[in-house]
Amino acid sequence: MSLHFEAVAAHGSLRLTLPNPLPSPVPEPGCDPVDAALALAAHEPLLAALEAWLQEALDPAPVPRLDTAEPLLWLDVGAVRLGLPWPLLLAAPGPLVPDGAVAAIAWPEIAFEVELAGFDTAPLPAGARGGVLLLPTSLQGAWRVLLRHATLVADAEWPGPGTPLALCGPPELPTAQTPPHPPWRVVLAEPWCVPLPQLLGWQPMLAPPRPGSGAWLQPPDGPQQRGRIAPALAGFGLWIDD
């Protein structure tokens, strides 16, 4: 049976799930203090690496179960399941670098939906097949698009299909100023995926993804209309498939 811990830090609480070093299971919902102390001692190198990374002391406390209401990034570090709050990651100056006593960390790729345009009302006549839908923001010089993730948002510039997106700044947590989902949206068919260390600027983005032209017109309800992004007038449009 695993043991659960929470450690309060300046930018949110870390969660840890550690294997129980004793062969006998621990009855729910409590956690024997001796078992907890042995589990933490067995993973002292990881705790020390976390404290060095955050530059603050941590005091993990045993909990009956983990609070899963807060969005977290979960990592497997050897036998440890580590949950990191997004505010902590966004504030970190660089990645957690374990030493030889700690298992290497495989940082995940973060997938964003790329929203190219939004409309408050239906931008095409009902039942329209074929044709082109002009994307107004692409006609205003540098084309600004919005990247949406389950927890993060970011602005980016995109010269068009086959070219890389360029982040306009680091990703952020949604706020009251974050644009809401418009009823009608044009989004790329494929997500924009980038490794977390590159997304947060911890590592250079040496080979940024180059999105293709496939895209969807998403209505508030009903079927999507598939198309492709192609030049139109001085910008781009969604050329609807017949």
Give the pLDDT band (50/70/90) at residue 21. Answer: confident
Which pLDDT value is given to residue 24?
54
pTM higher than 0.85 for the full model? yes
Q: Tell me the C-alpha distance between 217 and 121, whole Å.
A: 12
Which pLDDT value is given to residue 213?
94
Which pLDDT value is given to residue 81?
93
Beta-carbon count within 10 A of 200 CB: 21
Q: Tell me the C-alpha distance between 215 and 239, whole Å.
A: 9
Domain extent listing, the chain: 2-91, 109-240
CA 43 to chain CA mean position, Å = 27
Helix, strand, coil % in the chain, rounded to nearest 5: 15, 35, 50
Q: Tell me the C-alpha distance between 130 and 238, whole Å.
A: 10
Q: Tell me the C-alpha distance between 32 and 44, whole Å.
A: 18
Residue with token string 């084309």: 143
Please say whether the beta carbons of 200 and 132 come within 8 A: no
- Residues 24-82 pLDDT 10s: 554 455 567 888 888 899 999 999 999 999 999 999 999 988 877 788 999 999 899 99
- Residues 131-171 pLDDT 10s: 899 999 999 888 999 999 999 999 999 999 999 999 999 99
